[in-house]
Chain A
Amino acid sequence: MNYPPAIIAEAAVNGLLTGSVYALVALGLTLVYGVLHIINFAHGVLLTCAMFAVWGLVTFTGISPYAAILPLAAVFFGLGYLLQRYLIGPASHGDDGNILLITLGLSIAIENALLAAFHGDTRNIPGDFGFEVAPVGPMMISQPKMIAFAASLIVALLLWLLLARTDTGRAIRAVAKEKLGAGLMGVSVGHIFGITFGLGCACLAVAACLLIPSFYVNPRVGNAFVLVAFTIVVLGGMGSVPGALCGGLFIGMVESLGGLFLGDSLGQLGIFVIFILVLLFRPAGLFGARA
Chain B
Amino acid sequence: MKGRDDLRLLLVLLAVLAVVPAVASNLVINFLVTALIVALAAQGWNILGGIGGQISFGHAAFFGTGAYVTELLQLRLGWNAWATAPIGILAGALVGWAIGAMVFRARLRGSYFALVTLAFAEVMRILANALDFTGGASGLLLKLQPGAEAFQFTSRAVFAWIAIALVALVLLGTRHITRSRFGAQLVAVRENEDAARALGVDIVATKLRAITLSAAITAAAGVFYAQYFLYIDSQIGYGTWISVEALLASIIGGVGTVAGPVIGALALHGLGELTKGLAGQITGIDLVTFGLLLVAAIAFAPSGIVGAWRRYRGSRHRA
Q: Please give the residue numbers on chain A whose beta carbons come within 8 Å of chain B beta carbons, in ascending order.
A: 38-39, 87, 90-93, 96-98, 100-102, 104-113, 115-116, 119-120, 219, 227, 230, 263, 265-266, 268-269, 272-273, 275-276, 279-281, 283
CB distance from B80 to the nearest CB of A (A): 34
B244 touches A269 (CB 8 A): no
Once the chains bind, are B299 and A90 in contact (CB under 8 Å)? yes
Picked from A92, A109, A263, A283, the residue with its CB within 8 Å of the CB of B291 is A109
- Residues of B near A279 (CB, < 8 A) are 106, 108, 112, 115-116, 119
| A to B CB contacts below 8 Å, 27 in the list | A93-B299, A98-B298, A100-B55, A101-B55, A101-B247, A101-B251, A104-B57, A104-B244, A105-B290, A105-B294, A110-B291, A115-B283, A116-B284, A116-B285, A227-B119, A263-B130, A266-B126, A266-B130, A272-B122, A273-B123, A275-B119, A276-B119, A279-B108, A280-B102, A281-B106, A283-B107, A283-B108
Partner of B288, one of A100, A109, A266, A273: A109
Q: Which of B55, B119, B126, B290 contacts A97 (CB 8 A)?
A: B55
B278 at the interface (CB under 8 A from A): no
4 new A-B contacts, CB < 8 A, other than A100-B110, A102-B294, are A97-B110, A115-B287, A219-B284, A279-B119
Residue with the greatest number of chain A CB neighbours at <10 A, chosen from B108, B127, B289, B299: B299
Question: How many A-B contacts if CB must be within 8 Å?
Answer: 127
How far is it, in angstroms, between the C-alpha of A115 and the C-alpha of B288 when the chains are bound? 10
Q: Within 8 Å CB of B144, what residues of A? A: none
A contact face: mostly helix, strand, loop, or mixed: helix
State which residues 9-23 of B face A: CB under 8 Å. Answer: none
The contact of A100 among B111, B122, B123, B287, by CB within 8 Å, is: B111
Chain A residues contacting B102 (CB-CB under 8 Å) are 280
Does B118 reach chain A (CB closer than 8 Å)?
yes
Given contacts A100-B55, A102-B294, A105-B298, whether A227 and B112 have CB atoms under 8 Å apart is no
Residue from B112, B130, B287, B295 whose CB has the most chain A CB atoms within 10 Å: B295
Q: Which of A106, A219, A276 contacts B116 (CB 8 A)?
A: A276
- Least Cβ–Cβ distance between A92 and chain B, in angstroms: 7
Report chain B residues within 8 Å CB of A219: 284
Task: Name the contact of B115 in the complex, choosing from A39, A115, A269 (C-beta under 8 A).
Answer: A39
Chain B, residue nearest A280 (CB): B106
Q: Which residues of A contact B169 (CB under 8 A)?
A: none
Flag whether B139 is at the interface (Cβ < 8 A). no
- The CA of A263 and the CA of B244, in the complex, are separated in Å by 29
CB under 8 Å from chain A, chain B span 266-299: 282-285, 287-295, 298-299
Instruction: Check A230/B115 contact, CB under 8 A, given A93-B302, A97-B55, A265-B130.
Output: yes
B130 adjacent to A112 (CB under 8 Å): no
Q: Within 8 Å CB of A280, what residues of B?
A: 102-103, 106, 108, 116
Q: Which of B213-265 contact A (CB under 8 A)?
A: 244, 247, 251
Cβ–Cβ contact B119 & A272, under 8 A: yes
Chain B min CB distance to A83 (Å): 11
Q: Is the CB of A119 within 8 A of B283?
A: yes
Given the known interface contacts A107-B291, A108-B290, A116-B284, the answer about A269 and B123 at a Cβ–Cβ threshold of 8 Å is yes
Which chain B residues border A113 with CB–CB below 8 Å? 284, 288
Q: Please, how many angstroms separate the alpha-carbon atoms of A283 and B104 in the complex?
A: 13
Cβ of B107: which chain A residues have Cβ within 8 Å of it? 283
| A96 surroundings in chain B (CB, below 8 A) | 110-111
Q: Enumerate the 3 nearest inter-chain pairs by beta-carbon distance, A residue then B residue, closest first.
A: A109-B291, A105-B294, A108-B291
A105–B293 CB distance below 8 A? yes
User: Residue A283 contacts which of B112, B123, B290 (CB distance < 8 angstroms)?
Assistant: B112
Provide the residues of chain A in CB contact with B295, threshold 8 Å.
Answer: 87, 91, 102, 105-106, 109
Chain A residues contacting B115 (CB-CB under 8 Å) are 39, 230, 275, 279
Please judge, given known A-B contacts A108-B291, A112-B291, A265-B130, whether A38 and B123 are in contact too, CB under 8 Å.
no
**Quick one: which of B112, B129, B288 contacts A112, CB cutoff 8 A?**
B288
User: Do B122 and A106 touch across chains, with their CB atoms under 8 A apart?
Assistant: no
Closest chain B residue to A264 by CB distance?
B130
Question: CB-CB < 8 A to B283: which residues of A?
Answer: 112, 115-116, 119-120
List chain A residues, Cβ under 8 A from B293.
105
What residues of chain A lie closer than 8 Å to B127, measured between beta carbons? 269
Contact of A268 with B111 in the complex, beta carbons under 8 Å? no
A residues in contact with B116, CB < 8 Å = 275-276, 279-280
Please measure, in the bound complex, the distance between the C-alpha atom of A102 and the C-alpha atom of B292, giving whole angstroms.
9
Contacts of B118 in A (CB 8 A): 227
Q: Establish whether residues A112 and B299, one from each chain, have CB atoms under 8 Å apart when the complex forms.
A: no
Cα of A102 to Cα of B284 in the assembled complex, Å:
19
* Beta-carbon nearest neighbor of A262 in chain B: B130
Residues of A within 8 A of B292 (CB): 105, 109
B153 close to chain A: CB less than 8 A: no
Chain A residue at smallest Cβ distance from B279: A116
- A100 vs B295: C-alpha distance in the bound complex, in angstroms? 10
Closest to B240 in A: A223
Q: Does B141 contact A (CB under 8 A)?
A: no
What residues on B are CB-neighbors of A266 within 8 Å?
126, 130
Give the distance in Å from the alpha carbon of A275 to the alpha carbon of B129 in the complex: 20
CB distance from B46 to the nearest CB of A (A): 14
Cβ of B241 to closest chain A Cβ, rounded Å: 10
Residue from A91, A272, A275 in contact with B126 in the complex, judged by beta carbons closer than 8 Å: A272
Q: What B residues does A92 contact at CB under 8 A? A: 298-299
B contact residues around A108 at 8 Å (CB) = 244, 287-288, 290-291, 294
Once A93-B302, A101-B251, A281-B106 are accepted as A-B contacts, the answer to whether A112 and B284 lie under 8 Å apart by CB is yes
Most buried by B among A110, A265, A266, A279: A279
